[in-house]
Amino acid sequence: MSKVLIVNAGSSSLKFKLFDMPKETVLADGQVERLNMPGSLVKIKYGDGKVYKAEEDKIDYERSAAIMLNNLKDLGVIDHLRDIDAIGNRVVAGSDIFDKVAKIDDDTLSQIVELGDIAPIHNPVEAEYIEIIRRILPDTDQYAVFDSAFFKDVPEVNSIYGIPYELTKKFTIRRYGEHGINHGFITQQADEILGNDKAKLVTLHLGSGASVAAERNGKCFDTSMGFTPMNGLVMGTRSGDVDPALVPFFMKKMGASADEVIDMFNKRSGLLGVSGVSSDMRDLEDSDKDRAKLALDMFVNRTVKFAASYITELGGVDAIVFSGGIGEHDKWVREQVCKKLEIFGIKLDGQLNEEQKPGDLGAKDSSARILLIPANEELAMVRDVTAKID
């Protein structure tokens, strides 16, 4: 029996779950939202349906980590911090250096920091949390679970860019992807549902960050995200695919640096930038502004483009899988995506889509299953960390 804490740290939120392994029992499920902003929110579910809530202004990374660990003890989830046997941290970019779970030491942490060029919004924050927790719990082993690891099997025909090949090799340029932990999890779940470990799948992780992936034989064949997580679909604040010539264009026209342009593509574009309303799909669906509708249509359009191209690449598909916050909870998005994929014989059952229960949402005459599988990155991570410990 061991208690494993899973940490999913972002620039604006900290999410965590404490598991009792190998039973996979969730002892506590918490989050700290609106980091470094007024009205930071803390919510922790624990025990038999108990919920702890608190609000505090401008909780920073150091304070949020302390809140996480202290409340596990103060709420009686554990008796002592030393009861935590291991900690698993989600890390987005592992490049070609990390293709599996890695135990954190000074060298590992240094490499995670250096890979911040690939995931500038993610890796630096994740590394900072690892350092903070090391200071609080210096004797507790920490592990990194990499989003990019699932995409290591993507063949070169899909993973590299049309740039000089010697530069691809010299600088290790390729599609590293993101959301690999969840794409891997829902691929495994879909294969089990289908009873086919060689199934051809298109998995849709749709949320504030969004990506599409193609899988066959349980491995990833293609992914919409690229060298950085900015690539691919239109997302909450990320532009998705843009012509690279826009970088020098905006530098010239706006007097901006390259870093400032990339920051704009990452933080002020996507649904937020197009709509001028919000990065949240719910706000856009409630809005009567034309630009909000345009942003919604672009989100669906890009999702369909990638899904359709992957169905063609795979030579057909056994199942389309919806996951992520939007994929799981937005029936309009699922309806629109499937409607545009009907050319492939994919048909959604309207009533099942309304009910949106996990499972098959496909009509009886659909050529492929339409699966709704909730994301559970923490469960996937704790299984990987436990296997590494064992």
Residue numbers in the known binding site for ATP are 15, 205-209, 280-282, 325-329
| CA separation, residue 190 to residues 65, 127, 193, 195, 299 (Å) | 34, 32, 5, 8, 24
Q: Is the Cβ–Cβ distance between 140 and 172 less than 8 Å? A: no
Q: What CA–CA distance (Å, rounded) separates 389 from 383?
A: 10
3-state secondary structure of 377: helix
* Listed residue (226, 144, 143, 149) closest to 180, CA to CA: 149
Q: Is 48 a catalytic residue?
A: no
Phi and psi torsions of 358, nearest 5°: -55, 140
31 burial (CB, 10 Å; 0-12 / 13-18 / 19+) is middle
Among the listed residues 29, 48, 57, 147, the single catalytic one is: 147
Q: Is the Cβ–Cβ distance between 51 and 44 less than 8 Å? A: yes
Q: What CA–CA distance (Å, rounded) separates 327 from 254?
A: 36
Q: What CA–CA distance (Å, rounded) separates 60 from 62?
A: 6
Q: Which two tokens stand for residue 240?
A: 């998705």
User: Which residues are documented as binding site?
Assistant: 8, 15, 90, 205-209, 280-282, 325-329, 377
- Residues annotated as catalytic (active site), given as ranges: 147
